[in-house]
Amino acid sequence: MRRATLRAPLARRRPRVPLQVARGLAATSPPDARRLSTRSLPDYNTQVDVANIRLSKPKRPPPTKRRKAADGEWQGLKDLRARLKAEGSMVDQTLVDMESDADFQRTLKAYKEKGAAKLTLEEKKERRRQLDALGVPEFFDFLGRELETPSKARKSCEVFQLNVGLYCNQACAHCHVESSPKRFEAMSEAVAERCVEILAASPSVHTLDITGGAPELNPQFRAIVEGARRAVGDRVDIIDRCNLTVLTEPGQEDLADFLAHHGVRVVASLPCYSSKNVNQQRGRGVFGRSIEGLRVLNEAGYGAEGGDLHMDLVYNPLGAFLPPPQEALEAKYHEELKREFGVDFNELFTMTNMPIKRFADFLSRRGELKDYLDLLVRNFNPDTVDTLMCRNTLSVSWDGSVYDCDFNQQLGNPLALQDAPLASVFDFRSTDEFLESDIRFDNHCFGCTAGMGSS
């Protein structure tokens, strides 16, 4: 293979168990945890031909005319690499599209007028109003009604998740962290070094999960990977949450080599195997760049059956519905990507869209928030509760603050500690110090327990 000679001589092992979903690794679950029971879930019937799924028109039209989503200029594999190189960075295209998108502009105006904290509070209150209208109690009270012994107890931390920043070359319609080229929040060198120190002092942690934004575009990304390998060697699996298009960015030509050299596992977002659906959800031209990113990773040795370099894909629905059964959709992805593009990957993980941030805005504009929350509650799956992301994960923000999970982080819900309302990485030495803290649940948590869940 073209890049094999650059790979480090690390004897990479296969991960202990499969990843369950896109945004949370429950590695203590039994190996068949991702094949949860779905027979009693009333709406778990989405077709696997997801390329044929189209969004219906909103129940209420938005106040201003929305720009029709563009398919992009997908021209197949012919001359794709040369064409993308000539186009340069995707950032300029994303910024142009953001300027012409009425929804982005409304959100930007609201942020300037009210601020992020107030908008987040309003979003939370609106979810609560809709749940009240449905007669649904607070999440933990709901668990008490559905389970014999609901628990807020945390397990030993096994997944240390770092959100290294919000800067991204894309601005996806459903992004729950609201990343874009206009977000410059970034993890500092001091926070990054502290996180590596904590990782080294936490023997229960076996997975370092690096996310963003586009994490690879953060100045600390490579330093964290290199520092983690020096500190803990092969004891910890390192995951890169990759949007794939970053591999086509100027200055990232060696990214695949770097990831392979350090044995990093790639978990890549690809919400469909058709250009129209991907471009509609993730931005004009994203599909072609994603296919190129997959091909580059394949050339570096990723995705080969029986190989040491794992590349897993993530599907999340285009609209307000549950994903289809994971195994059947994975087979369809393998078939379509291999036949059309010659692309190989290891596993596919389905993720339920969380009703927060941009996706919550999407639902509200269409008058579908109440119906979507009803869908989540109606499809509560008790099999998801013991393997929730928050059970065995600590999530660190770019500024060093610590949360139960990535979703709580984006909503500003701090850890429920008695002695400190908002823990920082500089306040503790090992993740073992959080064993006595309770998980902080809230009304968005229904998304993690519906269908196959989001954790």
Least confidently predicted of 158-172, 198-212, 422-436:
422-436
Q: Which domains does the chain have, with CATH numbers?
A: 74-448 (3.20.20)
pLDDT at 78: 76
pLDDT band of residue 1 (cuts 50, 70, 90) is very low
pLDDT at 73: 39
Percent of the chain residues topping a pLDDT of 90: 53
Q: pLDDT digits over 84-121, tens only?
A: 888 899 999 899 988 888 877 787 787 778 777 888 89
pLDDT at 45: 67
Q: What is the mean pLDDT of residues 208-219?
A: 95
Q: Is the pLDDT of residue 238 over 90?
A: yes
Q: pLDDT digits over 127-185, tens only?
A: 999 999 999 999 999 999 999 999 999 999 999 999 999 999 888 877 777 888 888 99
pTM of the complete model: 0.84
pLDDT at 13: 37
Q: How many residues does the chain have?
A: 455
What is the rounded CA–CA span in Å between residue 267 and residue 249?
A: 18
Q: pLDDT digits over 291-325, tens only?
A: 999 999 999 999 998 899 999 999 988 888 898 88
Per the structure block, which two tokens stand in for 77? Answer: 């594999």
CA dist list (Å): 165 to 211, 215, 286 = 8, 7, 21
Report helix angle 102-114 to 116-133, nearest 10. Answer: 110
pLDDT band of residue 15 (cuts 50, 70, 90) is very low
Q: pLDDT digits over 391-422, tens only?
A: 999 999 999 999 999 999 989 888 866 655 55
| Dihedral sign from CA coordinates of 425, 430, 434, 440 | positive
Q: pLDDT digits over 326-361, tens only?
A: 899 999 999 999 999 999 999 999 989 899 988 888
DSSP 96-156: HHHHH-HHHHHHHHHHHHH-HHHHHHHHHHHHHHHHHHTT---HHHHHHHH-SS---B---
> 234 CB contacts (<8 Å, ≥6 apart)?
10, 11, 12, 13, 263
What is the rounded CA–CA span in Å between residue 439 and residue 155?
A: 10
